[in-house]
């Protein structure tokens, strides 16, 4: 059976603002559990964004809103930096004739899938290249100070 906090989270993220409380008794919500659940799915920024969008902050304790707002702000600032880095990286790869495709969070943000770039958490820039360019990209990335603490493999740099 789905926990009350899970149902509430789904309602906030995916239902119309008039349906947020459908099947949920707000007095029985454990807000610490909601934070843990949402954080575990990397959804805190999306939760804040949807609470604001649906004008439902009145349903939450003030300290809860302040906390997720700060996470959202940090995430948005980080995403702005990562998007700039992805664009620079793309230009570098194009200059060196390395075909590439961004994946996952970076691809979604670059494609403007989200209304707000702070909504989606990303921690790195994932992309794929053709196998024939593997040695070439190692040299290009090292030359341009893209360093890795790990040994290169064909699956990650």
Contacts from 141-147 at CB under 8 Å and sequence distance 24+?
144/92, 146/89
pTM as predicted: 0.83
H-state helical runs in the chain: 4-14, 31-40, 44-53, 62-95, 104-110, 134-143
pLDDT values of the chain reduced to their tens digit, one per residue, 157 residues? 778 999 999 999 999 999 999 989 999 999 999 999 999 999 999 999 999 999 999 999 999 999 999 999 999 999 999 999 999 999 999 999 999 999 999 999 999 999 999 999 988 899 999 999 988 998 999 898 886 655 545 555 5
Q: What is the pLDDT of residue 124?
A: 87
Burial class (CB in 10 A: 0-12, 13-18, 19+), 8: buried
**Residue 107: other Cβ atoms inside 10 A:** 16
CA atoms of 142 and 52, how far apart (whole Å): 42
pLDDT at 154: 53
- For the chain, domain boundaries: 4-143
Element (H, E) at 127: strand 127-129
pLDDT for the residue 156: 52
């Amino acid at each position: 059976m789905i926990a009350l906090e899970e149902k509430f989270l789904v309602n906030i993220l995916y239902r119309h603002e008039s349906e947020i409380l459908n099947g949920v008794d707000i007095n029985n919500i454990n807000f610490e559990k909601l934070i843990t659940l949402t954080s575990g799915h990397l959804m805190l920024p999306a939760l804040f964004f949807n609470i604001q969008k649906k004008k439902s902050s009145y349903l939450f304790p003030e300290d809860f809103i302040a906390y997720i707002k700060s996470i959202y702000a940090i995430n948005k600032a980080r995403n702005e930096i990562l998007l700039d880095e992805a664009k620079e990286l793309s230009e570098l790869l194009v200059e060196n004739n390395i075909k590439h495709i961004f994946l996952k969070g970076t691809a979604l943000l670059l494609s403007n899938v989200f209304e707000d770039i702070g909504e989606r958490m990303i921690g790195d820039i994932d992309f794929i290249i053709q196998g024939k360019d593997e040695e070439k990209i190692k040299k290009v990335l090292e030359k341009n100070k893209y360093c890795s603490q790990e040994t290169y493999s064909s699956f990650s740099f």
